[in-house]
Amino acid sequence: MQITSFEQYQEVYQQSVNEPEQFWGSIAENFVWKKKWDNVLSWNFTEPNIKWFEGAKLNITENCLDRHLLTDGDKPAIIWEPNSPEDDSVTLTYKMLHEQVCRFANVLKRNGAQKGDRICIYMPMVPELAIAVLACARIGAVHSVVFGGFSAKSIADRINDAACKLVITADGAYRGNKQIPLKDVIDDALIGCSTVEKCIVLTHVRTPVSMLKGRDVWWEDEVKHVNNVCEAEEMDAEDLLFILYTSGSTGKPKGVVHTCGGYMVYAGYTFSNVFNYQPGEVYFCTADIGWITGHSYIVYGPLSQGATSLIFEGIPTFPTPSRFWDIVEKHKVNTLYTAPTAIRSLMGFGDEPLVGKDLSSIRVLGSVGEPINEEAWHWFDEKIGHQKAPIVDTWWQTETGGIMISPIATVTPTKPSFATLPLPGIQPILVDENGNEIEGNGVNGNLCIKFPWPGMLRTTYGDHERCKLTYFSTYENLYFTGDGCLRDEDGYYRITGRVDDVLNVSGHRIGTAEVENAINMHAGVVESAVVGYPHDVKGQGIYAFVIFPAMHGDVELTKKDILQTVTRVIGAIAKPDKVLFVSGLPKTRSGKIMRRILRKIAEGDISNLGDISTLLDPNVVQEIIERASEKK
């Protein structure tokens, strides 16, 4: 299944386009099925209705665990590196992981979980998070992992949207020198969640928490009551595997739905190829399992290929900015997959943190989540890869389930800041505003995909219409990514960023409308508008223009209050970097906020604001410009 030369890539790609069903059918043969499919693919993009491997039966955990037991049972499946280097790392072999997943799957059953039930997971980056995820999959329950940085309200919204029956959490999480009180946050969230019957709590930071009688149980107690034998539930290829919430242009995050068969094939195939994973290698993805990168390339992709997946609780700069390099040296990491934000932030510390670190084990480097600028690309290449490790700049999305456009390590010639070429089976197309295809090279357009792939989303949970509207209605018969893209003279793709109202802050997707809704919850705020602006480390920063008429007293204090409100409503990741109080917002006569103008002001580029004569009150623009420049 691994492609080993560029010529082979070109052949395989052609075949995958000419005969997609044969192509994916033969890839799927590399996985374990309880029953093979009747039909590889049936689809239309109008409803949309997409089915891969119809009629097939499987359980993804048999592919991630059981099938490796005989040959690789004693091989490390997961290596966990804790927040503090003074604490010990933990290694779970495939045998151990299998046993723990089965045991915890029985705990889930014991607490009333059944096939099809939704289970919310809000946990630190510990091996038990992977165990919880796999245990859900083992019994056919649908996991909805919520990143540990989200607020109680965000969690409650997600739990209610999916009507989750169970919650799995921990007492707390470590994040550098901070502790996050996960259970307290869950307690707040659950006040508004009537569907939740049980909450399973892992002891991790050993902080006191309150346990509600009848609802809350300890992980450590529960596992004592069950054995470690748990048959894998037989799942239909199109049964739900998980829901993962992501931001869009409206205020409400949507639950992206992935199903068992296609997702498994796609995550496994892309992992094996993009990273050119070789048996015995240590693969380190620095993402959190709470994001899609963690789902596909910490858990399911690597484990389905029998890889050793290193997971890390903590941050790149704690206790020192050498943390990643120490981990690489300690565990002889062969592949490092991280985000441009982390690279830029570490780059900012200069060469000192790298002195004396042995990075010679590194063979492949990867980047994900946001465009990587050339400077960061070169730094990564020179300082970390010593110009010997190919960098795979992987473009994809929560909705795509796996990597779509990316170099294949050791195969595709790379180019700084370019995601390069589509993987086999992926048919990208650039279109103009009207949906007309932009052909040829050296062109820019909106990135769409014209043919289904096994890892694509099937729906948005509980609201199929929204899935259709968001992804399949902008352009007829195309999946619209929301990204702008350049195809250069060589036919290489470079993703230029979102073309909708979604920000990408430190590689995290945040909807401007969501942040505005949060700011507007502050009692003094009448209205707000949020835009992104270029940020040296985060890629994009959040700039909020806020109307707050009754401002008495301390402006800084009011700003703090507003930031606090956003933290409470969404989470600290959505906190604006800049808040500017204004008396009005630039609006058209029909009341629409002209974000284009605000974006220009936020970028500090007021030379060309375009036509502002159509504004309801053109004077507000001058006022905002003045206030913005005072602020600097």
- Binding positions for ligand WTA, rule: CB under 6 A: 246, 291-293, 368-371, 393-398, 419, 481-483, 495, 498, 504, 509
Smallest separation, CB 180 to ligand WTA (Å):
21
How far is C-alpha 141 from the geometric centre of its chain's CA atoms? 21
How far is C-alpha 587 from the geometric centre of its chain's CA atoms? 34
CA distance 91 to 172: 21
CA distance 378 to 344: 11
Other C-beta atoms closer than 10 Å to the C-beta of 200 total: 26
Cis peptide upstream of residue 319 (ω within 30 degrees of 0): yes
Smallest separation, CB 238 to ligand WTA (Å):
22
**51 has which bridge partners?**
42
DSSP letter string over 358-387? --TT--EEEEESSPPPHHHHHHIIIIITTT
Q: Which residue number, 128 or 399, has a Cβ lying nearer to ligand WTA?
A: 399
Q: Which residue number, 335 or 558, has a Cβ lying nearer to ligand WTA?
A: 335
* 165 contacts 112 by C-beta, under 8 angstroms: yes
In this structure, the strands spanning 118-122 and 49-54 are: unpaired
**Residue 497 φ/ψ, nearest 5 degrees:** 125, 175
Q: What residue spans of 443-584 are helical by DSSP H?
A: 464-467, 512-520, 555-569
Q: Which residue number, 495 or 530, has a Cβ lying nearer to ligand WTA?
A: 495
Q: Which residue number, 322 or 420, has a Cβ lying nearer to ligand WTA?
A: 420
Smallest separation, CB 253 to ligand WTA (Å):
11
Q: Which residue number, 140 or 369, has a Cβ lying nearer to ligand WTA?
A: 369
Smallest separation, CB 454 to ligand WTA (Å):
17
Smallest separation, CB 509 to ligand WTA (Å):
5
Q: Which residue number, 324 or 396, has a Cβ lying nearer to ligand WTA?
A: 396
* 288 contacts 297 by C-beta, under 8 angstroms: no
Smallest separation, CB 190 to ligand WTA (Å):
26
| Contacts of residue 257, Cβ cutoff 8 Å, sequence gap at least 6 | 240, 242, 243, 457, 458, 459, 460, 461
Count how many Cα atoms sit within 13 Å of the Cα of residue 179 in the half-sphere of its side chain.
11
Q: Which residue number, 63 or 397, has a Cβ lying nearer to ligand WTA?
A: 397
Other C-beta atoms closer than 10 Å to the C-beta of 235 total: 26
Whole-Å CA distances, 158 to 155, 183, 334: 5, 16, 36
Whole-Å CA distances, 213 to 148, 197, 198, 200, 217: 24, 11, 10, 12, 8
Q: Which residue number, 321 or 571, has a Cβ lying nearer to ligand WTA?
A: 571
Q: Which residue number, 322 or 341, has a Cβ lying nearer to ligand WTA?
A: 341
Q: What residue spans of 227-300 are helical by DSSP H?
A: 260-274, 292-294
Other C-beta atoms closer than 10 Å to the C-beta of 191 total: 9
Smallest separation, CB 217 to ligand WTA (Å):
32
Smallest separation, CB 484 to ligand WTA (Å):
9
Q: Which of 367, 359, 361, 378 is nearest to 274 (CA)?
A: 367
Smallest separation, CB 391 to ligand WTA (Å):
11
Smallest separation, CB 104 to ligand WTA (Å):
27
Q: Which residue number, 345 or 481, has a Cβ lying nearer to ligand WTA?
A: 481
Q: Which residue number, 139 or 478, has a Cβ lying nearer to ligand WTA?
A: 478
Smallest separation, CB 419 to ligand WTA (Å):
5
User: Exposed, middle or buried by CB within 10 Å (0-12, 13-18, 19+), for 626?
Assistant: exposed
